[in-house]
């Protein structure tokens, strides 16, 4: 059957068709179309079936990529789905949002001479097809267990853990402060990268599998919230998967002028607007229509803000980054998409001050130049004396990264240990300093990627299972003794 493979010499790489920039600027729909069956089969057949598949090595989930590519090339899509979903709880989501150019596809061996196999698009095709054909069935555990697990946070880490724990028969309850399931998949990542029905179908699947959701239930000590102690009392083990939401600040003059906003607040307002949800009066002003927008930052969040502002009808959108294109953390593919849609990138530029009376009118910036590599090997930058100038801006969006909220204080749990970065400390088995309380995803790793959150969620489920089994056995032994 391998004669269906190794076609990378005769067949060129074809990514899924992209809607034209002019059309996609006008809506929030996904920009890539789905592969047709013929195209998926054809593109999967380009894989050279490496003995040591670097694509899998560089996939955080270690996905069995060559095997599901071969099954796809043979038209055995249901089997490809079974295999791909064995290692990845949400393959269609990763196929859409993973920065494949830095992960699996960036390390595909045919990349250097023939352009990589289109792994992400095929992974997405397989699971989209599985949903269309009804192959995605609710989880049916072989037997039920009495033990109940409380998960705080319905982002990818919490959901991946829930599915694995449910498959082992645990009673799983997920708490989230929002009314929608998905965490940053819903409220952070814009629909043009990930349409929200792709998350709703997994929510339905988990509910049909017996996972119980407590939505609109924040955990904390504010009015209407459930205390951490209460949740801990209700369950045999707890998983904290609350992500990181505290925006990094820029301490320069004018930082608190109106119109100088944080990226996530802007993106959450935009996503809520597309759902038709109620917005606070501040959030309802976070709209780029007709404005000169300046986005600060070079990561994927900055790209999402740039492209959202274009879709909202901004008069102009500029992205300022203090390094160059080669040294930015964001995905190259996303920069290209943003440029096609009309964004202007200004490299080697850093903000110096926001100018205006009450509302921002301009950003004063400095030109930078490359310096020596820093301790991490990354190129440093230095300001060029006397190079300052201003850029017009009615809306400035700061996309400078996120840090964890101080959970020990917010939850009145001084024993909950944190690292020097403020992330939750966990041992080798994903357990925090509180017995039976585990943590996974961005709250442990710091701001990261969906695929790592899924991996952490899958892993922590195993650790919770082992901890419950070990503790049950030891308590039975203690009773006997």
Check binding of 88 to ligand SF4 (CB under 6 A): yes
- Out of ligand FAD, ligand SF4, none, which partner does residue 341 contact, by CB within 5 to 8 A per kind? none
> Using CA atoms, how far apart are residues 334 and 332, in angstroms rounded to an integer?
5
How near is the Cβ of 372 to ligand FAD at its closest, in Å? 31
Task: Pick one of 31, 44, 55, 461: the residue that binds ligand SF4 (CB under 6 A).
Answer: 55
The mark string for 447-476 relative to ligand SF4 (x by CB under 6 A, - otherwise) is: ----x-------------------------
- Candidate segments 34-42, 97-105, 162-170, 238-246, binder of ligand SF4 by CB under 6 A: 97-105
The residue (of 264 and 395) whose beta carbon lies closer to ligand FAD is 264
- Out of ligand FAD, ligand SF4, none, which partner does residue 97 contact, by CB within 5 to 8 A per kind? ligand FAD
- Candidate segments 28-36, 93-101, 192-200, 407-415, binder of ligand SF4 by CB under 6 A: 93-101
The residue (of 5 and 407) whose beta carbon lies closer to ligand FAD is 407
How near is the Cβ of 110 to ligand SF4 at its closest, in Å? 5
> Using CA atoms, how far apart are residues 312 and 291, in angstroms rounded to an integer?
10
- Out of ligand SF4, ligand FAD, none, which partner does residue 119 contact, by CB within 5 to 8 A per kind? ligand SF4
Check binding of 120 to ligand SF4 (CB under 6 A): yes
**Which phi and psi (to 5°) does residue 277 adopt?**
-80, 160
Residue 52 DSSP class: S
Check binding of 98 to ligand SF4 (CB under 6 A): yes
For the segment 100-119, give every residue that binds ligand SF4 (CB under 6 A).
Answer: 100, 103-104, 108-110, 117, 119
Task: Pick one of 21, 50, 252, 410: the residue that binds ligand SF4 (CB under 6 A).
Answer: 50
Check binding of 172 to ligand SF4 (CB under 6 A): no
The residue (of 157 and 368) whose beta carbon lies closer to ligand FAD is 157
- Out of ligand FAD, ligand SF4, none, which partner does residue 55 contact, by CB within 5 to 8 A per kind? ligand SF4
CB contact at 8 A, 305 and 397 = yes
Task: Pick one of 4, 54, 167, 347: the residue that binds ligand SF4 (CB under 6 A).
Answer: 54
| 443: number of Cβ within 10 Å | 28
> Closest Cα partner for 34 from 134, 138, 130?
130
Check binding of 65 to ligand SF4 (CB under 6 A): yes
CB contact at 8 A, 254 and 456 = no
Inter-axis angle of helices 300-311 and 332-341, to 10 degrees? 20
Token pair of 340 as six digits = 């096609």
Burial class (CB in 10 A: 0-12, 13-18, 19+), 270: buried
How near is the Cβ of 48 to ligand SF4 at its closest, in Å? 4
- Candidate segments 55-63, 128-136, 233-241, 289-297, binder of ligand SF4 by CB under 6 A: 55-63
How near is the Cβ of 78 to ligand SF4 at its closest, in Å? 19
The residue (of 244 and 349) whose beta carbon lies closer to ligand FAD is 244
> Using CA atoms, how far apart are residues 174 and 154, in angstroms rounded to an integer?
6
CB contact at 8 A, 269 and 286 = yes
The residue (of 41 and 294) whose beta carbon lies closer to ligand SF4 is 41
Check binding of 61 to ligand SF4 (CB under 6 A): yes
> Using CA atoms, how far apart are residues 317 and 300, in angstroms rounded to an integer?
16
Token pair of 256 as six digits = 């608190």
- Out of ligand SF4, ligand FAD, none, which partner does residue 95 contact, by CB within 5 to 8 A per kind? ligand SF4
| 411: number of Cβ within 10 Å | 22
Inter-axis angle of helices 65-73 and 37-44, to 10 degrees? 130
> Using CA atoms, how far apart are residues 392 and 296, in angstroms rounded to an integer?
14
- String of b and e for 117-145 (b: at least 16 CB within 10 Å)? bbbbbbbbbbbbbbbeeeebeebeeeeeb
Q: Which residue has the tokens 């192959």?
A: 135
The mark string for 3-42 relative to ligand SF4 (x by CB under 6 A, - otherwise) is: ----------------------------------------
Check binding of 94 to ligand SF4 (CB under 6 A): yes
Contacts of 468 (CB under 8 A, 6+ apart): 147, 170, 236, 237
> Using CA atoms, how far apart are residues 279 and 286, in angstroms rounded to an integer?
10
> Closest Cα partner for 256 from 398, 380, 141?
398
Check binding of 66 to ligand SF4 (CB under 6 A): yes
- String of b and e for 176-186 (b: at least 16 CB within 10 Å)? bbbebbbbbbb
Residues near ligand FAD, by CB under 6 A: 97-98, 152-158, 175-178, 183-185, 188-189, 193, 218-220, 241-243, 264, 267, 300-301, 304, 441-442, 448-451, 453
Contacts of 19 (CB under 8 A, 6+ apart): 29, 31, 32, 33
> Using CA atoms, how far apart are residues 137 and 220, in angstroms rounded to an integer?
35
- Out of ligand FAD, ligand SF4, none, which partner does residue 154 contact, by CB within 5 to 8 A per kind? ligand FAD
The residue ranges that bind ligand SF4 (CB under 6 A) are: 47-50, 53-55, 59, 61, 63, 65-66, 88, 94-95, 98, 100, 103-104, 108-110, 117, 119-120, 123, 451
């Amino acid at each position: 059957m391998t004669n269906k493979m190794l076609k990378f010499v005769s067949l060129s790489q074809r990514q899924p068709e992209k809607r034209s920039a002019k059309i996609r600027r006008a809506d929030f729909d996904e920009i890539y179309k789905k592969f047709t069956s013929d195209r998926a089969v054809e593109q999967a057949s380009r894989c050279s079936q490496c003995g040591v598949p670097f694509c899998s090595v560089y996939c955080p989930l270690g996905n069995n990529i060559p095997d599901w590519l071969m099954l796809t090339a043979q038209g055995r899509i249901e089997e490809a789905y079974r295999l791909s979903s064995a290692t990845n709880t949400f393959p269609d989501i990763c196929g859409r949002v993973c920065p494949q150019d830095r992960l699996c596809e960036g390390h595909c061996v045919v990349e250097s001479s023939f352009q990589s196999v289109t792994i992400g698009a095929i992974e997405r095709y397989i699971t989209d097809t599985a949903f269309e054909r009804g192959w995605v069935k609710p989880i049916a555990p072989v037997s039920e267990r009495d033990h109940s697990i409380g998960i705080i946070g319905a982002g990818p880490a919490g959901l991946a853990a829930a599915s694995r724990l449910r498959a082992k028969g645990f009673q799983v309850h997920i708490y989230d402060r929002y009314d929608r399931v998905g965490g940053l998949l819903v409220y952070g990542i814009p629909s043009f990268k990930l349409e929200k029905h792709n998350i709703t179908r997994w929510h339905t699947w988990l509910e049909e599998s017996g996972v119980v959701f407590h939505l609109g239930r924040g955990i904390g000590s504010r009015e209407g919230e459930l205390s951490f102690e209460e949740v801990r009392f209700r369950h045999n083990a707890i998983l904290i998967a609350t992500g990181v939401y505290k925006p990094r600040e820029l301490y320069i003059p004018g930082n608190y002028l109106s119109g100088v906003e944080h990226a996530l607040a802007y993106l959450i307002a935009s996503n809520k607007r597309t759902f038709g949800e109620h917005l606070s009066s501040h959030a309802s002003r976070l709209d780029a229509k007709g404005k000169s927008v300046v986005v600060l930052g070079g990561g994927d969040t900055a790209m999402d803000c740039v492209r959202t502002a274009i879709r909202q009808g901004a008069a102009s959108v500029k992205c300022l980054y203090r390094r160059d294109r080669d040294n930015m953390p964001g995905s190259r593919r996303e920069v290209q998409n943003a440029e096609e849609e009309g964004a202007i990138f200004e490299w080697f530029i850093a903000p110096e001050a926001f100018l205006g009376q009450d509302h921002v009118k301009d950003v004063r910036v400095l030109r930078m130049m490359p310096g020596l590599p820093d301790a991490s090997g990354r190129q440093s930058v230095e300001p060029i004396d006397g190079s300052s100038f201003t850029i017009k801006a009615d809306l400035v969006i700061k996309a400078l990264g996120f840090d964890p909220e101080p959970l020990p204080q917010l939850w009145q749990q001084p024993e909950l240990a944190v690292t020097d970065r403020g992330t939750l400390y966990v041992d080798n088995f994903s357990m925090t300093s509180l017995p039976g309380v585990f943590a996974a995803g961005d709250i442990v790793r710091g701001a990261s990627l969906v695929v790592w959150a899924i991996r952490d969620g899958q892993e922590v489920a195993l650790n919770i299972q082992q901890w419950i089994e070990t503790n049950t056995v030891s308590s039975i032994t203690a009773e006997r003794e």
